[in-house]
Amino acid sequence: MTIDKKVDVIILSWDRAEDTKKAIISAVEQQNIDLNVYIVDQGSKIECVQDIETLVNVYPNVHLQKNITNTGVPEGRNQASELGNGDYIVSLDNDAEFLTPFELEKVVKAYDTRPKTAVIAFNIKRFGTESNDESSWSYGLSSVDWSNRDFFTTRFVGAGHAIRRSAFEQVNGYDNSLFFLHEEVDLSRRFINLGYEIEYLHNIGVGHKVSAEHRVAWNAGRWTYHARNKTYLSLKLKSPMLSVVFHSFLLQIDGLKKGMPIDTLKATYAGFKMYQKNKFYFNLAECAFNPDSEEYYRKYTPGADGSIPTRILRRIKGIIK
């Protein structure tokens, strides 16, 4: 029996044709779901695009959009999401596969009993094993103790998750200007500020191959994106100016430790410039804490219940250790 809610699976592809095809097949094989799959290719080699396109043409509910260049993760996900109209948008990394043919059925059933949930974060395993993918665990909790429990959280991981389309459209999706890194943190904050919840459900999972190909090392562009986007988001999401200055200072210390002090300064400056360019966000309610969202963060952020001096000391220790 097919569930009446529609699901759109979105996959961004950038080379890795074989992995991408397996991700597509994993999505197509989901059972009891009214399903469409949308792939946005981010400028792959022509032979990779042709290989993927051959598979796409086999399935009437699988669609391929081809970009000339890599437009970035947030813009690619926005583009893929706009191609569909399903009630729920499920994002799957192109080096991941669903653990069973019934993961999306579980997603829909979970949403049916959770009207305030914007995002369902999946249990991400290392592909072919029962081990947690530690690179996709960013909840500030022990994965050993918590990966097999359900819990509310303030963030989700990009490798596998579901988003309620109505909530996604309410905040106009991801912020394209981020390009890479922290796009999920930004979207999470904006959802929570509007009264939505984010929940990790341990019984909905994907296997992640954690491929090294096309990943950006900290000693390359990744650190620059990290420092730039952290600075930009601290301003966009209306952190107090003292907090912005403090965290900018910590970024400089961390950049110095990593041997990239000049890159860090340039990235911090770029973050301030990004905010000036996108200042329209400042007047949006979704970018500002309110009493309810502040309480949500206090309740579901590990360590957030400590005093301000305790939290400052913890942050400093985390940088200098």
- Tell me how far apart the alpha carbons of residues 166 and 150 are, in angstroms, rounded to a whole number: 23
Q: What residues in the chain have per-residue pLDDT under 50?
A: 213-214, 216
Specify the pLDDT at position 303: 73
Tell me what pLDDT residue 312 has.
60
Q: Is 308 exposed, middle or buried (0-12, 13-18, 19+ CB in 10 A)?
A: exposed
Instruction: Sort strands 62-67 and 160-164 into parallel, antiparallel or unpaired.
Output: unpaired
**CA dist 66 → 27, 69, 89, 158 (Å):** 19, 9, 19, 21
pLDDT reported for residue 174? 98
Helix axes 223-236, 241-257, angle to 10 degrees: 170
